[in-house]
């Protein structure tokens, strides 16, 4: 899914096969062809080629989705909360030790190091 996120970050409309993860990630930034149906995939590409307004709207939607929902600064708190739910005693100890929430990257790296 990295390439899908990259296309979205660049504001590019997407055509992909209709798989769950792609739909969850791209939403309306993509057209979806039936799985393994290359003819349908080609038809979706032609739809985009014939509709510059739709291409622009899909690209803008994808870019905004990355910036407003999928970027690391939005995902990090949820990921850290998931880790904390798996190892609550470690998170409690970090709070007692006075670790701040300032630098998410540093905190994340420290959690990974502590959990080995």
pTM (2 d.p.): 0.67
Question: What does the DSSP assignment read for 50-83?
Answer: T-HHHHHHHHHHHHHHIIIIISHHHHHHHHHHHH
**Adjacent-strand bridge partners of 14:** 30
pLDDT digits (tens, 9 = 90+) for 10-44: 999 999 999 999 999 999 999 999 999 999 999 99
Tens digit of each residue's pLDDT (9 = 90 or more) over 32-77: 999 999 999 999 999 999 999 999 999 999 999 999 888 888 788 8
| CA angle, 74 then 80 then 84, to 5° | 150
């Amino acid at each position: 899914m990295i390439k899908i996120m990259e296309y979205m970050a660049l504001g590019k409309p997407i055509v992909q096969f209709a798989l769950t993860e792609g739909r969850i990630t791209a939403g309306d930034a993509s057209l979806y062809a039936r799985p393994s149906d290359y003819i349908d995939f080609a038809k979706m590409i032609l739809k985009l080629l014939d509709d510059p307004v739709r291409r622009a709207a899909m690209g803008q939607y994808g870019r905004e989705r990355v910036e407003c929902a999928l970027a690391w600064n939005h995902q990090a708190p949820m990921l850290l909360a998931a880790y904390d739910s798996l190892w609550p005693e470690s998170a409690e100890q970090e709070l007692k030790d006075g670790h701040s929430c300032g630098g998410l990257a540093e905190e994340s790296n420290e959690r990974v190091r502590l959990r080995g």
